[in-house]
Structure 1
Amino acid sequence: MIEGLVFDKDGTLFDFRRSWGNWVIRLLEGIADGPEHRNQLARSIGFDIDRIDFAPDSPVIAATAPEIAARMNGHLPRMSHEELTDRMNRLAGQADMAEAVPLRPLFQALRDRGLKIGLATNDTEAPARTHLTNHGVIDLFDFVAGYDSGHGGKPAPGQLLAFARQVGLPPARIAMVGDSRHDMEAGRAAGMVCVAVLTGIADHAELAPHADVVLPDIGHLPAWLAESVPA
């Protein structure tokens, strides 16, 4: 019986390309010395400026801000790793996030089923809370963790296990819902059911071997729950 859901944020609650493509452009325009330098920085993080799209192995998809910054720092001799990470985190809170589906009615429906709800993201906690607040759903979450919240980052299971402890549920009664292999690997390591969605960069073929089920988006969760566990 599923009694809790812990969600990834980017690519799961929010459509990844629409949310983060423009954020990357804004970041690069603020740190690059010119068009060629901007393109060099974009290539270092697997971002196609012309198409405003991400390569499947782009660190922006699932890595933490320090890990993404490390990819670019070799091309930024006048900016320290800490300065770049801080800039990225500040801009993340200002990103214009595009909901994958209307979030408020979905999460209210999940709460009405008695489910505990958490967020586990490789973003920092502060912008994650800002995004949930801006979209009117922060009050529906029992738990919010970023990579800097003291539980580590995915694919390690620390955030997920912290959620399980906080809400008092065994991991086997929780589903991890995410859009990347990092999410599925974290869920598997935590002993949770793994639910993949296709609103990130990874496709069905990449996610299916690592997930218990692959859904088009989180809007299909209520139907899946109804089929899996009668209300």
Structure 2
Amino acid sequence: MKMNDFENLITQLFGVWLKEFENEGEYGFTHKVEKEIKVVAYATNLTPETVEKAHNSRADLLITHHDAWDFVYGMKEACEAELRKHDISHYFTHYPLDFVEFGTSTALFEQIKIDEITTFSTFKDNQEFPGIGLYHKPLSFMELKERLEQVLGEPVKAWENHDRPINKVGILTGAGNHTALIQYAKKQDCDAYITGEQSLYSVQYAKFAGIHLFVGSHTFTEIFGVENLVVRMKEIYPHLKMVKIQEEHIESYCV
């Protein structure tokens, strides 16, 4: 696959979401090398470690959900230097991947075996909205917690805030911890809300509103969206080798 082929494919897959977030720094190349792409590595985050692992896998292109954050001071510059050193292109897609129909929230719904997605996560009027899904056969609080932990491969924080079975679930992966997002899920009659970060306010509001709150990590609630993207790439370019970069569970474990 040539770089031009990749860029055209991204346009095809994300369509209107590229226009929605044009010039907002929510997607694009951190480093671009005009060479044949044979090996694609992917991860949630751009860090020196994921660049090094991409290099060790002989990747020509690294795809991540996140760019290196400017407020993680100095890390973006270090990543760019490593990408140049190893001659690896890097492309990230943040908000477009959050809101495209095959994106991060949809992918997590698929992983936890939801029976029906009634509303995809979306962005409109400058606001984010969670995806909504249904279990036709309801789960208990512990059943959903255990299912999430198995999928994410890490402990999940969970607050049990009512005694009803779980039929309807809201998801906004990553930093979906704003109380307005939980309120939206509650207004949609969700029994549970799943995201990748928490705050005092989100925990307080979920308790007050009477909705179960499940919090995995930002990294591992979102990796499946990146995986959905590379699966679609491989369907169109089956010769590509796809390598999943194993990231550490640094948000969940501490010594």
TM-score scaled by length of structure 2: 0.29
Judging by fraction of residues, say which structure has more helix: 1
Question: By percentage of residues, which structure has more strand?
Answer: 2
**Max Rg structure:** 2
TM-score (norm 1): 0.31
